[in-house]
Chain A
Amino acid sequence: MSLALHLPALQVVLPLISAPLAVLLRHGGLAFATVTAAAWTAFACAIGLWLQIGQAEGGVISYAIGNWPPPWGIEYRVDRLASFVLLLVSGMAALVLPWSRASIEREIPRDLHYLYYAMFGLCLTGLLGITITGDAFNIFVFLEISSLSSYVLIALGRDRRALTAAYQYLIMGSIGATFIVIGIGFLYLMTGTLNLADMALRIREVENTRPVLVALAFLTVGISLKLALFPLHQWLPSAYTYAPSAVTAFLAATATKVSVYVLIRFYFTVFGESLVFDKLPLPQIMLWLSLIAMFGASAIAIFQDNLKRLFAYSSVGQVGYITLGLSFDSVNGLTASIVHLFNHGIAKGAIFLLIGGLVIGMAKAGAVPPAPTFDRLAGLAKRMPLTSFGIVIGGLSLIGVPGTVGFVSKWYLIVAALEKDQFWLVGAILLSSLLAVAYVWRFVEVAYFRAPPVGQEARCEAPLALLLPAWLLVIATIWFGLDTSLTVGSALDAAQQMVKSGR
């Protein structure tokens, strides 16, 4: 079937077309329908690609855009890792978009709705494009598309601080993107190609030259900024806190994850493990930065008063686990990273969606939802039992309680640490979970063990349209915690493919 052959192109092109269409339609409802349809088709494409990968020779699908064969033309290249990330990104978009219809009603002025959908479509395009493309410069282009649209999305938040947060993210994101393009420029200079696979072959001859090392440094810092690796995470908490709820949920579940993907792509596919991990002290640096993130950011999270901000800091901590897995430079370590990328995506997505429902449930009809600060959350379990319980389950996953997805990722991290005979790291991983216990506990205590403020005892559960998608994700965090065949299976395949290609 010819359509099936063009899935890689459709994957990106459909959301890309949906965005200008949404602008031209100038109508919230129609824009919603267009972008959502595009997101769902993209999700279908991702599933299709995932199925195709299983049969594809060598587990790679290569698609030449415009029939210009690589390395001259732009190549879309789907391997196991890319297909897994595509699933996550398009799946989250397919879920968050319908959710956001009810939520932006209250958070974004009505005449801006169609623009919101357009930006969402663009952001989705960018994230999918980064993942699927096999061309270094194309990565940069899509990165800019996703970043610029996400600045706008964040700035749509009702809180006035959303604007500063978006502005700050804009500055930082631009610096990051600049670094990335400088890095890519160096690589182009030294290898004469922009195709990643081609670049990986040619870089072997020049891998000890200074420009290549400089390129690695620029790329590492640039991407670390995008994925909020400590200490370059400072843009993230404010951006997540003040953005509209739907945006927070979508970006938290996908944006940093795609950045991690880019990092893995450059480290393992382009530079190769032997350069990155064996010759340079990168694993050590990454290990320590990850540890600082796991402990530092989680500790800061404990003291936050705003629930969104608390979980934003927790995201920084959780990114630490992902990069920790990378630093092991082993199949199990990489598996842990990839699994956690997915697992944390759905758990955090669930939490932010539930918080979004929570603030809307708390607001009076027609009013702007208040910030979810702890003093407003007292006795929440009585008022919104389902929302509270969902957040607790998401929190348990962040802690890594068995039966949730968080446990699966931590298990592989621990196995990877044991493989290296790093027993102290096992201790560190387990200890850092206690910090997660502490910040999740803060929510539990306030929601379950404090009496609701006088006059606010009535049930005010979030609307079903908000609750349903969120609970789908909550169930997914348990489902994939028990049945790991899809997640761990894909991640293991992807990790093996990556490590093989890097050697």
Chain B
Amino acid sequence: MSADFPVALILIFGAALIPPLRGAVRRAYMLLLPLAAFICLLAVPQGMHGQVELLGHNLVLMRVDKLSLLFCYIFLLAALLAVIYALHVEDTLQHVSGLIYAGSALGAVFAGDLLSLFIYWELTAVSSVLLIWARRGEHSAATGMRYVIVQLLSGLFLLAGGLMHWRATGSLEFGQIGLTGTAGALILIAFGIKSAFPFLHNWLMDAYPEATPTGTVFLSAFTTKLGIYALARGFPGTEELIWIGTLMAAFPIFYAVIENDLRRVLAYSMNNQLGFMVVGIGIGSELAINGAVAHAFADILFKGLLFMSMGAVLLRTGTIKGSELGGLYKSMPWTTGFCVVGAASISAFPLFSGFVTKSMIMSAAADEGLLLTWLVLLFASAGVFHHAGIKIPYFAFFSHDSGIRCAEAPRNMLVAMAISAALCIGIGVFPRGLYSLLPFVVDYEPYTASHIVSQLQLLFFSALAFAVLMRTGIYPPELRSVNLDSDWLYRRAAHGFATTFHDTLTKTRAGLAAGIFAHAEAVIGLIDRQRRPGGLLMRSWPTGNMALWVMVMLLAYLLFYYAGNGHA
């Protein structure tokens, strides 16, 4: 196949052929699509391919370099895993939209210019929302609507910024953009929405927990990582990103701790992991960029794995509330095991993938002498261990037995989780493989004594605290119905702080919202009255009324003409 053929189209148009297929043929075909795309990709040399002209602009549909290839590999891998995970689902809508979504994310990664980036950008938004709507409830419909509006808005920012960039520089090429002028700012906002920057992040926590169990696995892989890729491409070394990322890594921790919906906990922890990557991009040194994209690679795998295990729980038990689960390790031993691997990876245990990637970002921050950032990231690492590393598996699978007895996850789900888990461990044990794919040459050794010791110290002290509290009985007996998080440490310290933090925020927001809502209700009421029969919006106008308007317009034109033309 020619190098000019956009690989993304294999998935996008390939997905269109799914509906008529049935049963085993469909399943085989869906597995084949990412593999076929991967094989095509192997034949493509690095460089700018697929140049076409649209609307008088030269578009580059296939910019193949190490950065885009890395994201492409992981996107294809994620697509394959998500397809395997979703094989048991009998819902054409989900299959088609999932693959189109993966394909458009792929296309966006290869886009060498802002216009084709925009086109794929919007396509990811439109295709991914179907995964949320596929849950088919009032609630998911509303959530999906909010989600898609935010995503489309991000596209609009990108288009507006891209056009201004084009006006300023005369080129639509998507390279280093930098935070210069309005154009750069608009594009940064667009990327920021996708990467869930603080205050632009709500769609993530809102939408991901509302998708179908399999849909969330798709969602978790592409949208935010596409944002990270775009940032790495357009804004490396932008100092503002360091602070944005630091904030991102820290604040979701508080929310993750008090959240009860375990998939939402994961959404918060995803936001926190994205913070690490954004910091890396902001630092902009070779090590930092390597670390950011490597962490994105690893995050897709372990966060996918965690979402998969939670999806399996949701599928089998019908709930995902931490307070209603517990003791599932008896029923779902395999899922439990895989979840623990994911938890260990996200907590960056040595020999797991998070360790070899996250430590690059930490080291880069230390190299640059960013003490505050480094400390916050350290705190965030401890936080991750607590809410994702312990809380998720503990509440779902251990804790006090909820009495739920269910079947083990379907076999295809287990296969997908097993592959992900194997990869998590594989990357952790043999980091060289991943390192060789990174955009810059890696001269970094994760397994030094000081790295391992400091990381283990961090983890073991957290675990020790947890264990001691459990043992000594200070750990409160469960109050499952009330509390979200029955951890003494959190109840006394972090929880209190988090709650205050949350309350203040909610209050300010509520105050603002009350004002806005009061007005909005008045407007909606007005509109509602007008849309009833006989209202302004529904009325067929009487003819005389129309004729009157004609006269008004004529007079207006005459007046304007005389005024505009002076006294002719």
- Contact assessment for A418 and B159 in the assembled complex, using a CB-CB cutoff below 8 Å: no
Q: Which residue of B lies closest to A401 (CB)?
A: B122
Roughly how many angstroms separate A401 CA and B567 CA in the complex, as a whole number? Answer: 47
- Complex: how many Å from CA A368 to CA B100? 40
List 5 tightest A-B contacts by C-beta distance, closest first.
A402-B119, A217-B557, A303-B531, A234-B541, A281-B564
B32 interface residue per 8 A CB criterion: no
B432 at the interface (CB under 8 A from A): no
Residues 521 to 552 of chain B near chain A (Cβ within 8 Å): 527, 530-531, 537-538, 540-541, 543, 545-547, 549-550
Interface pair A168/B156, CB less than 8 Å apart: no
Is the beta-carbon distance between B537 and A303 smaller than 8 angstroms? yes
Interface contacts (Cβ under 8 Å), in number, total 115
Interface flags, A201-235, vs B, CB<8A=1, else 0 = 00000001110011011101100110000011011
Give Cα A408 to B141, complex, Å.
30
Q: Which of the segments B67-75, B160-168, B214-222, B356-364 contacts the partner chain?
A: B160-168
Task: Provide the bound-state CA to CA distance between A372 and B122, in Å.
Answer: 30
A443 to chain B, nearest CB (A): 14
- Which residues of the partner chain A approach B540 to less than 8 Å between Cβ atoms? 164-165, 168, 234, 237-238
Are B122 and A402 in contact (CB-based, < 8 A)? yes
For window 277-297 of chain A, which residues contact chain B by CB distance below 8 Å? 279-282, 285
CB contacts under 8 Å to B, within A142-188, are 164-165, 167-168, 171-172, 175-176, 179
Besides the known contacts A213-B565, A401-B122, A414-B159, 18 further A-B residue pairs in the complex with CB atoms under 8 A apart: A172-B550, A179-B550, A213-B561, A217-B558, A221-B550, A224-B553, A232-B550, A285-B556, A303-B531, A303-B538, A414-B163, A415-B163, A423-B160, A430-B156, A437-B149, A449-B136, A484-B54, A484-B55
B562 at the interface (CB under 8 A from A): yes
Say if the beta carbon of A426 comes within 8 Å of chain B: yes
Chain B residues, CB < 8 A from A281 = 560, 563-564
Q: A172 touches which one: B126, B163, B531, B543 (CB < 8 A)?
A: B543
B152 at the interface (CB under 8 A from A): yes
Find the A residue at minimum CB distance from B539. Answer: A234
Q: Which residue in A167, A172, A220, A411 is a CB contact (below 8 Å) of B55?
A: A411
Taking CB atoms and an 8 Å cut-off, the chain A residues in 398-455 that contact chain B are 401-403, 408, 411-412, 414-415, 418, 423, 426-427, 430, 434, 437, 441, 445, 449
Of B141, B163, B164, B561, the residue contacting A280 (CB under 8 A) is: B561
CA gap between A403 and B540 in the complex, in Å: 36
A402 touches which of B118, B561, B562 (Cβ 8 Å):
B118
Is A168 within 8 A of B55, CB to CB?
A: no
Considering only residues 212-271 of chain B, those with a C-beta below 8 Å from chain A are none
What separation, in Å, do the CA atoms of A488 and B565 have in the docked complex? 35
| C-alpha gap A438/B545 in the complex (Å) | 29
* Inter-subunit contact A175/B160 (CB<8 Å): no
Chain B residues positioned under 8 Å from A499 (CB to CB):
none
Q: Cβ of B562 and Cβ of A213 under 8 Å apart?
A: yes
Task: Give the Cβ gap from A299 to chain B, nearest Cβ, in Å.
Answer: 8
Q: Which residues of A contact B40 (CB under 8 A)?
A: none
Q: How far is the CB of A39 from chain B (nearest CB, A)?
A: 32
Residues of B within 8 A of A165 (CB): 540
Residue ID in chain B nearest A301 by CB atoms: B537
Main secondary structure of the interface of A (DSSP, over half): helix
Distance to closest chain B CB from A452 (angstroms): 14
Give the interface centre of A213, A279, A414, A426 by most chain B CB atoms within 10 Å: A213
How distant is the Cα of A209 from the Cα of B567 in the complex, in angstroms? 9
Query: Could you tell me the distance between the alpha carbons of A216 and B568 in the complex, rounded to whole angstroms?
Result: 14
A433 to B119, CA, bound (A): 15
Contact A220 B557 (CB under 8 A): yes
A168 to B562: give the CA distance in the assembly, Å: 32
Is B489 an interface residue when CB atoms closer than 8 A count as contact? no
Kindly identify, within residues 11 to 43 of chain A, every residue whose CB is under 8 Å from any CB belonging to chain B. none
Do A234 and B545 touch across chains, with their CB atoms under 8 A apart?
Answer: yes
Minimum CB–CB distance for A402 against chain B, Å: 4
Is A213 a contact of B546 with CB atoms below 8 Å?
no
B550 partner residues in chain A, CB cutoff 8 A: 172, 175-176, 179, 221, 225, 232
- Also in contact, A232 and B560, with CB within 8 A (given A171-B547, A441-B145): no
A213 to B126 alpha-carbon distance, docked (Å): 49
Chain A, residue nearest B144 (CB): A449
Measured in the bound complex, the distance between the Cα atoms of B145 and A217 in whole Å is 45
Within 8 Å of chain A (Cβ to Cβ): is B133? yes
Please indicate the chain A residues that have their CB under 8 angstroms from the CB of B537 in the complex.
300, 303
Docked complex Cα distance between A484 and B54 (Å) = 8
Cβ–Cβ contact A231 & B553, under 8 A? yes
Give the contacts of B392-410 with A (CB-CB under 8 A). Answer: none
- A220–B164 CA distance with the chains assembled, in angstroms: 34
Any A CB within 8 A of the CB of B554: yes
Q: What would be 29 A-B contacts, judged by CB atoms less than 8 Å apart?
A: A168-B546, A172-B547, A213-B561, A213-B565, A214-B558, A217-B558, A217-B561, A224-B553, A232-B549, A232-B553, A234-B541, A238-B540, A280-B561, A280-B565, A281-B560, A281-B563, A281-B564, A285-B557, A303-B527, A303-B530, A303-B531, A303-B537, A304-B538, A401-B122, A418-B164, A418-B167, A430-B159, A434-B152, A449-B133
Q: How far is the CA of A401 from the CA of B538 in the complex (A)?
A: 28
Complex: chain A residue closest to B535, CB-CB: A303
Contacts of A304 in B (CB 8 A): 538
Collect the chain A residues with CB atoms within 8 Å of residue B558's CB: 213-214, 217
C-alpha gap A3/B376 in the complex (Å): 83
Number of interface residues of B (CB under 8 A): 44
Q: In the complex, are the beta carbons of A217 and B565 less than 8 A apart?
A: no
Contact A445 B141 (CB under 8 A): yes
8 Å CB contacts to B: which residues of A214-262?
214, 216-218, 220-221, 224-225, 231-232, 234-235, 237-238
Kindly provide the distance from the CB of B116 to the nearest chain A CB, expressed in whole angstroms.
Answer: 9
Indicate with 1 or 0, residue by residue over B123-150, a CB within 8 angstroms of chain A CB atoms.
1001000000100100001000100010
Quick check: B545 and A179 within 8 Å, CB to CB?
no
CA distance A403 to B116 in the complex (A): 11
- CA distance in complex: A408, B119 (Å): 12
Contact string, A36-71, partner B, CB cutoff 8 A, digits 1/0? Answer: 000000000000000000000000000000000000
B553 engages A168 (CB within 8 Å): no
Among candidates B531, B549, B562, residue contacting A231 with C-beta atoms closer than 8 Å: B549
Residues of A within 8 A of B564 (CB): 279-282
Beyond A168-B546, A225-B550, A300-B537, whether A426 also contacts B160 by CB under 8 A is: yes
Note all chain B residues with C-beta closer than 8 A to A167.
543
Rounded to whole angstroms, the CA-CA distance of A279 and B564 in the bound complex is 7
B554 close to A285 (CB less than 8 A)? no
Whole-angstrom distance between the alpha carbons of A412 and B55 in the complex? 8
Task: Give every chain B residue within 8 A of A179 (Cβ-Cβ).
Answer: 550, 554
From A419, which residue of chain B is reached at the shortest CB distance?
A: B167
- The residue of chain A having its C-beta at the shortest distance from the C-beta of B118 within the complex is A402
State the Cβ distance, A189 to closest chain B Cβ, in Å: 16
Question: Contact between B560 and A401 (Cβ–Cβ < 8 Å)?
Answer: no
Identify the closest chain A residue to B93 (Cβ): A448
**What are the residues of chain B within 8 A of A225 when measuring CB–CB?**
550
Q: How far is the CB of A21 from chain B (nearest CB, A)?
A: 35
The interface bits of chain B over 337-375 (1 if a CB of A lies within 8 angstroms of the residue's CB, else 0) are 000000000000000000000000000000000000000
Contacts A303-B538, A411-B55, A484-B55; A232 near B561 (Cβ below 8 A):
no
Q: Point out the residues of chain B lying under 8 angstroms from A221, CB to CB.
A: 550, 553-554, 557
**Set of chain B residues within 8 Å of A235, measured between Cβ atoms:** 546
How far is it, in angstroms, between the C-alpha of A231 and the C-alpha of B159 when the chains are bound?
31
A285 to B563, CA, bound (A): 13
Which B residues lie within 8 Å of A449 (CB)? Answer: 133, 136, 141
| B553 CB contacts on chain A under 8 angstroms | 221, 224, 231-232
In Å, the complex CA distance between A321 and B112 comes to 30
CA distance A23 to B54 in the complex (A): 48
Return the contact of B560 from the options A214, A280, A418, A434 (Cβ within 8 A). A280
Q: Give chain A nearest CB distance to B217 CB in angstroms.
A: 22
| Given contacts A213-B562, A426-B163, A408 and B133 within 8 Å (CB-CB) | no
Q: 0/1 per residue, B307-345, Cβ < 8 Å to A? A: 000000000000000000000000000000000000000
Give the CA-CA distance A214 to B145 in the complex, in Å. 50
